[in-house]
Amino acid sequence: MRRLSLLLFVLLLAGCQPAEQAIHDFPSGTLVDMSYAYNSQTVYWPTAPMFEKSTDFEGVTDAGFWYTAYTVKTAEHGGTHLDAPIHFSEGKHAADQIPLESLMGSAVVIGVEEQSAADRDYLISTEDITAWEAEHGQIPDGSILLFRTGYGQFWPDREAYMGTAERGPDAVALLHFPGIHPDAATWLTQERIIKAVGIDTPSIDRGQSTLFESHQHLFGANIPAFENVASLDRLPETGSYVIALPMKIEGGSGGPLRMVGIIPNE
């Protein structure tokens, strides 16, 4: 974590405030990098191609100055990434259509590490959410809801993180990691008003899911998801903020995500 000013965050939220007032009022705090770097170890779904980076040029040019340029290739869904609602819901927001307001805001972090350690296929329940609310109060409207399973500690060991290091269609049946229960996903769309959900596993549906019902329920309500979120153990359960900006792929079903947590100074 780095100690930096929150100027960018305040400017984004300042709205119609005069520039001088926004600059004068900005607080300082801790920034948390919540995205994994893309490299040869990046975790992808077993059927998705792995990350590739090739060198176009690296070195001193004929004109005598240093120059580097690379070509990268990645599937939309790998590493820390966005799932756009259109990924599982026809006619809903594509990656470039998600309102910016849905990608930033107050963060709520619900930890289910104990349950997930006891059961690799654990389904995060409505009861887990209401138990959190009994201690902290109802999830505020417009929150970004993040689930911390503890599986981020295994990154980038694919077998420990997602249940298998094998690749290809047959490996999908070998996936084992926690996710959101479809009933809890439905409950969130009906009983709470959230901007987005996120989780520190490869998918908001558990590894053994075959219908991806949590995706269907949440995306049908135009609620996007952030997957393979890093450093959730560094965010408090309440009081922090998140900015999650994906690559703006026209019509995309998702894309690489640079996600930042912000913990204001008290």
Write out the two tokens for 106: 């107050």
State how far the alpha carbon of 82 is from the alpha carbons of 86, 167, 200, 264, in Å: 11, 22, 12, 25
State how far the alpha carbon of 226 is from the alpha carbons of 15, 54, 96, 132, 242, in Å: 25, 27, 15, 21, 11
Is 193 domain-assigned? yes
Give the angle subtended at the CA of 212 by the CAs of 164 and 245, to the nearest 5°.
Answer: 85
Is 52 domain-assigned? no
Scanning the structure block, which residue is given the tokens 């926004």? Answer: 22
**What pTM does this model have?**
0.90
Is 111 domain-assigned? yes
Is 50 domain-assigned? no
Q: How many CA atoms lie within 13 A of 184 on its CB side?
A: 19
Model pLDDT, residue 169:
98
- In which domain, by residue range, is 155 found? 2-44+76-264
81 is catalytic: no
What percent of the chain has a predicted confidence (pLDDT) above 90? 88
Q: Exactly one of 87, 93, 181, 215 is catalytic; name it.
A: 87
Query: What does the buried/exposed string (b/e) look like for 50-65 if buried means 16 or more CB atoms within 10 Å of the residue's CB?
Result: ebeeeeeeeeeeeeee
More confident call, 37 vs 21 = 37
* Residue 179: strand pairing partners: 123
Is 174 domain-assigned? yes
Is 59 domain-assigned? no
pLDDT band at 27 (very low <50, low <70, confident <90, very high): low
Q: Tell me, what CATH number does 193's domain have?
A: 3.50.30.50
Per-residue pLDDT at 5 exceeds 50: no
Write out the two tokens for 54: 């090739």
Is 102 domain-assigned? yes
Model pLDDT, residue 7:
43
Is 54 domain-assigned? no
State how far the alpha carbon of 157 is from the alpha carbons of 126, 190, 260, in Å: 30, 36, 23
**Which tens digit of pLDDT belongs to each residue from 113-167?**
999 999 999 999 999 999 999 999 999 999 999 999 999 999 999 999 999 999 9
Please compute the mean of the pLDDT values over residues 197-216 and round it to a whole number.
98
What percent of the chain has a predicted confidence (pLDDT) above 70? 90
Scanning the structure block, which residue is given the tokens 């995500």? Answer: 257
Domain count, the chain: 1
Instruction: List the alpha helices (DSSP H) in the chain.
Output: 7-13, 19-25, 113-118, 126-136, 158-162, 182-191, 213-220
